[in-house]
């Protein structure tokens, strides 16, 4: 058991979890997810993909926690007014991987849990898996370096769009990696029809830039990316598109001003933390859930205990 888990176990046994829940009752908890790993073998990436069983267990755990789960827009509004119900939680999902539609949405429906999908859209209009992620996956499975993956990505992205899938298949064949990932649409983004159906079934669709840009390095493109993302989603899913997630958590100090000018009301990071009443709605914190997050860490976040045990863990590790 890790130092973090030992500290959290001790904290729970001594009543800190309940004390933390009371102390942070008015703070908004936001859970962050990406896609599910639906291809045979070990899940790829740290938090990009988690196993379907883990996601289902986490949602069941959340349902049993007693924490009210609110739609993101409602939660942000109530947080700003200081009227949030105690220990309220919002569920967010980044990117729009196909597994969000095929596997995550049915779990959310079965448990009657609202959630928001921050959808990036350039790949949505194309029957093409996300090139850089596929290249990194293929190279990782073959034992190649990240530099090899970056080089392969650059070479493939110089090709015409219609030639890129064949190039990815050739890269996989050259590296000796099976095409299971292609058959499962593991690295594909939801199609416009899937986005429309997901919204019809209750999934809130929101903004994530059109091309999944790095806001910290490409701040000059943010307004145009929001406009293009919004136009695509308005046609595909039709919604009030006013909430945003920084792709990969990349932030720039000018982003809140530009987002507000674009009609955006809130934006989330990938930085761990709670959101107190009056928090800046353009720098909302989340718990990015994944394979490395244990059940007790998940419970501690919901209870608000991670907010207090962080300094203790850092002191003990010093």
pLDDT digits (tens, 9 = 90+) for 83-115: 999 999 999 999 999 999 999 999 999 999 999
- Going by C-alpha positions, the residue among 75, 83, 77 that lies closest to residue 28 is 75
pLDDT at 318 over 90: no
Find the mean pLDDT for residues 4-13: 79
Provide the 3-class DSSP secondary structure of residue 265: coil
Find the mean pLDDT for residues 284-291: 95
282, 268 contact by CB (below 8 A): no
d(CA 24, CA 18): 10
Find the mean pLDDT for residues 134-161: 97
Lowest mean pLDDT of 17-21, 138-142, 151-155, name the range: 17-21
pLDDT interval class at 284 (50, 70, 90): very high
Find the mean pLDDT for residues 131-154: 97
CATH 3.20.10.10 fits 28-127+188-291, yes or no: no
pLDDT interval class at 310 (50, 70, 90): low
65, 123 contact by CB (below 8 A): no
Sequence ranges of the domains in the chain: 28-127+188-291, 130-185
d(CA 300, CA 11): 9
pLDDT at 316 over 50: no
pLDDT at 163 over 60: yes
């Amino acid at each position: 058991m890790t130092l973090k888990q030992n500290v959290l176990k001790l904290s729970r046994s001594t009543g800190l979890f309940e004390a933390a829940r009371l102390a942070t009752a008015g703070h908004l908890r936001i859970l962050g997810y990406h896609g599910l790993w639906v291809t045979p073998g070990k899940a790829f990436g740290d938090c990009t993909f988690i196993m379907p069983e883990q996601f289902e267990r986490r949602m069941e755990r959340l349902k049993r926690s007693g924490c009210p789960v609110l739609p993101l827009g409602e939660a942000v509004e109530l947080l700003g007014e200081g009227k949030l119900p105690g220990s309220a939680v919002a569920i967010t999902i980044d990117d729009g991987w196909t597994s969000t539609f095929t596997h995550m949405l049915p779990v959310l429906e079965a448990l009657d849990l609202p959630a928001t999908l921050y959808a990036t859209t350039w790949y949505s209009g194309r029957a093409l898996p996300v090139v850089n992620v596929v290249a990194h996956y293929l190279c990782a499975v073959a034992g190649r370096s990240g530099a090899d993956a970056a080089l392969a990505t650059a070479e493939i992205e110089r090709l015409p769009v219609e030639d890129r899938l064949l190039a990815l298949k050739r890269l996989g064949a050259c590296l000796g990696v099976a095409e299971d990932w292609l058959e499962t649409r593991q690295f594909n983004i939801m199609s416009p029809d899937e986005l429309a159906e997901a919204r019809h079934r209750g999934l809130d669709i929101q903004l994530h830039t059109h091309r999944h840009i790095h806001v910290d390095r490409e701040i000059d493109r943010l307004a145009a990316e929001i406009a293009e993302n919004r136009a695509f989603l308005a046609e595909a899913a039709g919604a009030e598109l006013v909430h945003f997630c920084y792709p990969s958590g990349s932030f720039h100090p000018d982003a809140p001003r530009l987002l507000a000018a674009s009609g955006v009301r809130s934006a989330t990071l990938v930085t761990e933390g709670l959101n107190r009443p009056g928090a800046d709605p353009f720098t909302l914190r989340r718990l990015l859930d994944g394979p490395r997050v244990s059940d007790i860490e998940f419970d501690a976040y919901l209870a608000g205990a991670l907010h207090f045990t962080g300094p203790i863990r850092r002191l003990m590790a010093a």
